[in-house]
A and B are shown apart, each in its own frame.
Chain A
Amino acid sequence: MTTTRHEPHETPSAKILTGIAASRGYASGSAVIFRTEQELQISDFSLSPDDVPAELERLENALALTRTQLQSLSQELEQRISGNEAAVLTGQIMMTSDPEFLSPCRKLICDELQNAKSAVWHTAQHFTRAFAAMNDPYLRERGKDIEDFARRLIRNLSGGGEDRIARFNQPCIVVADDVSPGETIAMPKDKILGLVTEKGSLTSHSTLLARALGIPAVVGVPNCLNEINPGDEVLLDGVSGKVIHNPGDSERKAFAKVVSHAKSFQSFVEEGRQFPGATSDGHSVPFLANVSADCRMTDLPKVAAEGIGLYRTEYLWISLNREPTEQEQEEAYTAAVRSLPQGSVTTIRILDLGGDKLLRSEGVTEPNPFLGNRSIRYLLKNPDVLRRQFRSILRASSHGKVNVLYPMIATIEELRAVNLELHRCMTELREKGIPFDNQIKRGAMIEIPAAALIAGTLAKEVDFFSIGTNDLIQYTLAVDRSNSAVSRLYQPTHPAVLQLIHLTVQAAKARGIPVSVCGEAAADPIFAALLIGLGVDALSMAPNLIPLVKRVIRQLPYAELQELANEALARQSDSAAAIANVCRNRLINLVPELLYLR
């Protein structure tokens, strides 16, 4: 393979192809083209009856080789990534002994005298045709698993058992119609700079794997195999989903700029990693982590999380598909508490599950689970469940500082009832001589507009507030943001949302209790700045987002953020987009790096 160097003066016409940004990152290099169709050379030649036993043996040997290859790939994969994607190959390993696949293959060889490759291909097609006709896009995509397996088997029957990926030795950008999971895993990271595919979607295995392995990728690029020739220079932007083919000088310069901005933004973020959360003038704003029972708590020190601002307990119920026992709960909560340095706080939110999940086993379906018998409403109707959870949390509080957080509070009666239950559990443990923290702090989630409007009353009954922006925005604006038809109406800077946050903070300040925010909006550095300006005391977010947001906040003086908040609140007749723009522009003047945030 030769790499063509384009001289600056003979700039060919640059072409920008657009696809789906599948795996973040940038790459530039020369293209290597893979066409799957060309890989398979299947001829329909017939066997003579004498050859049948040898052909059957050839099939068995190829199956054994396929199994060995898949097993070693699977082991390699398990070391590199975890979870669902590692299981893909387990399925393919099972296919090597699937009777419904092997019997027809053998039958075609014995009865129809087909050669093994042709027999495998025809049998596989019988299965893959069924997938092509499927309506569900996720399941249709899974036909690839069978196709991928069949291709490997045919390759092994051809004697060329090696993965095509392993066959080149120069760093390059792979342009393919599609890449199989096995091939994505086998990609040597130092040789694959990036990946462009014609097929593929955000849910295809290769996309998920490329992301897990850190290979920049743009998928679903129409016609890329016809446009790009082997050796062509390609610039790949896995953030915006652009593939620049045959770039000229100006495109190369622009791309280099984007890459260097991304790099300097990354090093800008890294510089502040270990510092505590604060504004540039030293106003402290702790950055806390949102975690779930299944999270790896070991990641928290890496991002310098100053505590757990939201520990979601739902996962315990979901993973067991039943209520966890008190002991199981206590162990999980204690593990979280112990994962933090002494003195840090773990805020444990009691069960926040929808009626759709909790009541299904009882045969109840709710037409509108988000307005149904969920979360605190369910717990107050099932006080035994609530008490078991409270007792477990209290026990864990003897190992380190614990806050308990009540979700979905809409009325003062709910808050009083749940407080009373906690009080009863404390009395019970005290009588039994079981140690727990007497000073455990109780907090209410402010995530229903009604709660924000009566925050003054609620503040008298709790020790802190935590604003859940996801639900607060969803309930205030009546928007399901996962519904693409209306998701653009999900607007954190909507004046009504800002007013509700403002009301909540003012009510808390009047009572002298702290307010934190644990919704995803806190992870947008610009919105986070606005929240701090509004008087929010701490931010809690997904651990991996802490370094970025914290770094931006550490550049900003507190007084400036207060001004920003005042301006945003004053713009009551502006659109959410206009308010967001005002905030962005003000902050970019102070933190120019925000320009490079993509």
Chain B
Amino acid sequence: MDDSICESRDLVLKNKYGMHVRPAGLFAKVASRYDADVQVEKGNVRVSGKSIMAMMTLEALCGATLHVTAKGPQAKQVLDELESLVNRKFDIPDEQ
């Protein structure tokens, strides 16, 4: 049985201050909730989407494109939720 779906999406950061500690934490928290491996690429750097610290090192500013790849049974679900989180600017009121 092959349950490893692999899907990628490009997400554009829209919150004002980019990928700092709070958005990185929210991103990692969502990524960790699903049964899927999540990798995030920006430029030629690739990090685990489940790591708040690694996500912060991406230096992703507002407007940056993150290439997010999810692999595993819940790949689509995790990408849907991450996409919505990024588009909602992580629900941070000061950064809309």
Task: Give A contacts to B, CB under 8 Å.
Answer: 83-84, 87-88, 90-92, 94-95, 98-101, 127, 130-131, 134-136, 138-139, 142-143, 145-146, 294, 315, 318-319, 321, 360
Contact = CB atoms under 8 A, between A and B. Distances in A.
Interface-central residue, B53, B59, B87, B92, by most chain A CB under 10 Å: B53
A92 B61 CA distance: 21
Contact of A319 (B17, B24, B51, B96): B96
Contact of A139 (B18, B52, B53): B18
A370 B29 CA distance: 38
B95 to A, nearest CB: 8
Contacts of A101: 51, 53
A139 B59 contact: yes
B58 to A, nearest CB: 9
Nearest to A84: B94
B8 interface: no
15 contacts: A91-B21, A91-B52, A92-B21, A94-B28, A95-B52, A98-B54, A99-B51, A100-B50, A100-B53, A127-B56, A127-B57, A138-B17, A139-B18, A145-B56, A321-B96
B25 A91 contact: yes
- Most chain A beta carbons < 10 A, residue from B20, B28, B54, B87: B20
Contacts of A319: 93, 96
Contact residues of A: prevailing secondary structure: helix
Interface of B: 14, 17-22, 24-25, 28-29, 47-48, 50-54, 56-57, 59, 61, 87-89, 92-94, 96
B96 A98 contact: no
A294 B93 CA distance: 9
Contacts of B53: 95, 98, 100-101, 127, 146
B45 to A, nearest CB: 9
A207 to B, nearest CB: 15
Contacts of B89: 321
Kindly name the residue among B47, B50, B57 whose own CB sees the greatest number of chain A CB atoms within 10 A.
B57
A84 B22 CA distance: 8
B28 A135 contact: no
A145 B25 CA distance: 12
B19 A139 contact: yes
Nearest to B52: A94
Contacts of B22: 84, 87-88, 90-91
Nearest to B45: A130
Contact of B88 (A91, A131, A145, A321): A321
